Chain A
Amino acid sequence: MANKVLMKGNEAIAEAAIKAGCMHYFGYPITPQTEIAAYMAKRMPKIGGTFLQAESEVAAINMVYGVSSAGYRVMTSSSSPGISLKSEGISYLAGADLPAVIINVQRGGPGLGGIQPSQADYNQATKGGGHGDFHMIVLAPGSVQEMASLTIKGFELADKYRMTSMILADGTMGQMMEPVELDLEVSPAPEKPWATNGTKMQRKHNVVNSLSLVPEELEKLNFARYERYKQVEENEVMYEEYLTEDADIVVTAYGIASRVAKNAVDEARANGIKAGLIRPITVWPFPKAPYKAIANKAKHVICVELSMGQMIDDVRLALECKVPVTLCNRAGGMIPSVDQVRTEIEKYAKEIN
Chain B
Amino acid sequence: MATTKYLFSGFGGQGILFSGKFLAYKGLVEGKNVSWLPSYGPEMRGGTASCSVILSDGAIGSPIIDTPDVLVAMNLPSLDKFEKTVKAGGTIILDSSLIERKVERQDVNVYYVPATRLAQENGFPTLANMIIVGKLLSLSGDDSEEALMGALNKVISAKHADMLEVNLKAMKLGAEF
Contacting B63 at CB < 8 Å: which of A4, A31, A259, A339? A259
* B interface: dominant SS: mixed
Which residues of chain A are near B37, meaning CB under 8 Å? 172, 175-177
Interface 0/1 of B42-63, CB less than 8 Å to A: 1000000000000000001111
A310 interfacial contact with B, CB 8 Å: no
A263 touches B31 (CB 8 A): no
B28 touches A179 (CB 8 A): yes
Given the interface pairs A6-B24, A172-B37, the reply to whether A260 lies near B154 with Cβ below 8 Å is no
Residues of B in contact with A, size category:
20 to 34
B34 touches A179 (CB 8 A): yes
Q: A266 CA to B60 CA in the complex, in Å?
A: 11
Shortest beta-carbon distance from B28 to chain A in Å: 5
B28 touches A260 (CB 8 A): no
B177 interfacial contact with A, CB 8 Å: no
* A interface: dominant SS: mixed
Shortest beta-carbon distance from B85 to chain A in Å: 11
B41 touches A6 (CB 8 A): no
B40 touches A31 (CB 8 A): yes
Contacting B40 at CB < 8 Å: which of A1, A171, A259, A260? A171
Which residues of chain A are near B154, meaning CB under 8 Å? 6
A6 touches B28 (CB 8 A): yes
Which residues of chain B are near A280, meaning CB under 8 Å? none
Contacting A338 at CB < 8 Å: which of B21, B31, B41, B66? B66
B35 touches A176 (CB 8 A): yes
A177 touches B24 (CB 8 A): yes
Interface 0/1 of B18-34, CB less than 8 Å to A: 00010011001001011
A81 interfacial contact with B, CB 8 Å: no
Return the chain A residue nearest B35 by Cβ.
Answer: A178
Which residues of chain A are near B35, meaning CB under 8 Å? 176-178
Given the interface pairs A4-B28, A6-B154, the reply to whether A177 lies near B36 with Cβ below 8 Å is yes
Return the chain B residue nearest A259 by Cβ.
Answer: B62
Return the chain A residue nearest B64 by Cβ.
Answer: A335
A262 interfacial contact with B, CB 8 Å: yes
Q: A249 CA to B154 CA in the complex, in Å?
A: 43
B12 interfacial contact with A, CB 8 Å: no
Q: A181 CA to B24 CA in the complex, in Å?
A: 16
B61 touches A263 (CB 8 A): yes
Q: A33 CA to B24 CA in the complex, in Å?
A: 22
Which residues of chain B are near A176, meaning CB under 8 Å? 35-38, 63
Which residues of chain A are near B60, meaning CB under 8 Å? 178
A6 touches B64 (CB 8 A): no
Contacting B31 at CB < 8 Å: which of A1, A6, A31, A262? A1
B36 touches A178 (CB 8 A): yes
Which residues of chain B are near A123, meaning CB under 8 Å? none
Return the chain A residue nearest B155 by Cβ.
Answer: A6
Which residues of chain B are near A6, meaning CB under 8 Å? 21, 24-25, 28, 34, 36, 154
Q: A252 CA to B63 CA in the complex, in Å?
A: 18
Q: A263 CA to B66 CA in the complex, in Å?
A: 12
A260 touches B64 (CB 8 A): yes
Q: A335 CA to B34 CA in the complex, in Å?
A: 20
A178 touches B61 (CB 8 A): no
Q: Which residues A135-185 have CB closer than 8 A to chain B?
A: 171-172, 175-179
Q: A335 CA to B37 CA in the complex, in Å?
A: 13
Contacting B61 at CB < 8 Å: which of A171, A175, A266, A335? A266
Shortest beta-carbon distance from B155 to chain A in Å: 9
A13 interfacial contact with B, CB 8 Å: no
B62 touches A263 (CB 8 A): yes
A196 interfacial contact with B, CB 8 Å: no
Which residues of chain A are near B63, meaning CB under 8 Å? 172, 176, 178, 259
Contacting A172 at CB < 8 Å: which of B24, B33, B64? B64
CB pairs A–B below 8 angstroms (21 shown): A1-B28, A1-B31, A6-B28, A31-B40, A32-B41, A171-B40, A176-B35, A176-B37, A176-B38, A176-B63, A177-B21, A177-B35, A178-B34, A178-B35, A178-B36, A179-B28, A179-B33, A256-B62, A256-B64, A260-B62, A338-B66
Q: A31-B40, A337-B66 are in contact. List 20 more A-B contacts (CB 8 A).
A: A6-B24, A32-B41, A115-B40, A116-B41, A172-B63, A172-B64, A175-B37, A175-B38, A175-B40, A176-B35, A176-B36, A176-B63, A177-B24, A178-B35, A179-B34, A260-B61, A263-B61, A335-B64, A337-B64, A338-B66
Residues of B within 8 A of A (CB): 21, 24-25, 28, 31, 33-38, 40-42, 60-64, 66, 154
Residues of A within 8 A of B (CB): 1, 4, 6, 31-32, 115-116, 171-172, 175-179, 256, 259-260, 262-263, 266, 335, 337-339
